[in-house]
Amino acid sequence: MKKNFLLTIIALLSIGLLTAAKPAKKSGGKKTSAKTEVKKPAKKEAKTPAGEDPYGHTIAEVDSLFYILDDDKETATVTVPAEAGYYVGMKEIPEVIKYKRGLYSVNEIGEGAFEGCKALTGVKFPETVVAIGDRAFKNCTKLKTLSLPADLVSVGEEAFMNSAIRAAKLPKSVLEIGDRAFAGTPIKSASFGREMSAIPEGAYMGCKELTKITIPDGITEIEDDAFAGCVALQSVVIPEGVTEVSA
């Protein structure tokens, strides 16, 4: 009896030992191995600061100037930089720029292109530029040096308003200038294109150093406040062809 009891205990201990010797089962799920993840370097993208304008034209930076490119016409318009006040010092605008595989003729200074660039001191235009847009150089308070291109056709509203230009001889080719185009500048003499028919509202308003104006024969209308606040103005020569002078 005692012998059978001992055999039973030995048998139970053997089962326990065998059970304890078995490795514990791993929790459910597939066997995974630890791997070190190597991150691939990000691809560099071509530099196109602003992408496209609302009309689908490419906007690109070439030699520190920003342009809107028209692939169909192969023309470029100087446009607003990515950062306010970006343009400083003397800027020379080229006649032609190269972008990728294309060549573009620079024919316009766009709306607000240099507006508020208070460290801009001068601009040299190429002869290819025929239009200067609205507010293109507004509030460029150090802009003094300026020579307009010979084939310029139009100057937009407030284009040079509150800048520091003292002289801006409009070429004979100019057909129109916008309202307040030269308002608030220290300009000393006013000029007009041969084909202009009207002096627009506030064109030279507040030009306190303007002393003399000679209006060409082609002008038939002088609009409101064209020369308001020109306190140093001593003489104005108005041709007989002027039929309307607004208050």
HEC secondary structure over 34-98: CCCCCCCCCCCCCCCCCCECCCCCEEEEECCEEEEEECCCCEEEECCCCCCCCCCEEEECCCEEE
CA distances from 160 to 61, 124, 155, 178 (A): 24, 15, 9, 10
pLDDT at 67: 95
Beta strands in 102-150 (DSSP E): 102-109, 120-124, 131-132, 145-147
In this prediction, residues 161-165 reach a mean pLDDT of 97
* CB atoms inside a 10 Å sphere around CB 56: 7
Residue 11, C-beta contacts closer than 8 angstroms, at least 6 positions apart: none
pLDDT at 9: 41
pLDDT at 50: 52
pTM for this model (two decimals)? 0.77
pLDDT at 46: 34
In this prediction, residues 218-232 reach a mean pLDDT of 94
CA distances from 198 to 20, 149, 223, 235, 242 (A): 107, 21, 7, 19, 9
HSE-up of 121 (CA within 13 Å, CB side)?
2
Q: How far apart are CA 110 and CA 55, in angstroms?
A: 14
Least confident range from 12-21, 189-198, 231-240: namely 12-21
Residue 21, C-beta contacts closer than 8 angstroms, at least 6 positions apart: none
Q: How far apart are CA 74 and CA 194, in angstroms?
A: 30
Q: How far apart are CA 173 and CA 153, in angstroms?
A: 6
Give the position of tokens 């627009």. 200
Q: How far apart are CA 143 and CA 120, in angstroms?
A: 6
Q: How far apart are CA 117 and CA 135, in angstroms?
A: 11
Q: How far apart are CA 123 and CA 176, in angstroms?
A: 21
Angle at 12 between CA 11 and CA 17, to 5 degrees: 100
pLDDT at 24: 46
For 177-216, what is each residue's pLDDT tens digit?
A: 999 999 999 999 888 988 899 999 999 999 999 998 888 8
In this prediction, residues 66-85 reach a mean pLDDT of 90
In this prediction, residues 168-177 reach a mean pLDDT of 93
Give the position of tokens 């689908």. 56
Q: Left if phi > 0, otherwise alpha if psi is -120 to 50, otherwise beta: which for 64?
A: left
Residue-averaged pLDDT of the chain? 82
For 44-59, what is each residue's pLDDT tens digit?
A: 333 444 576 666 778 9
pLDDT at 55: 60
In this prediction, residues 17-25 reach a mean pLDDT of 43
DSSP 127: T
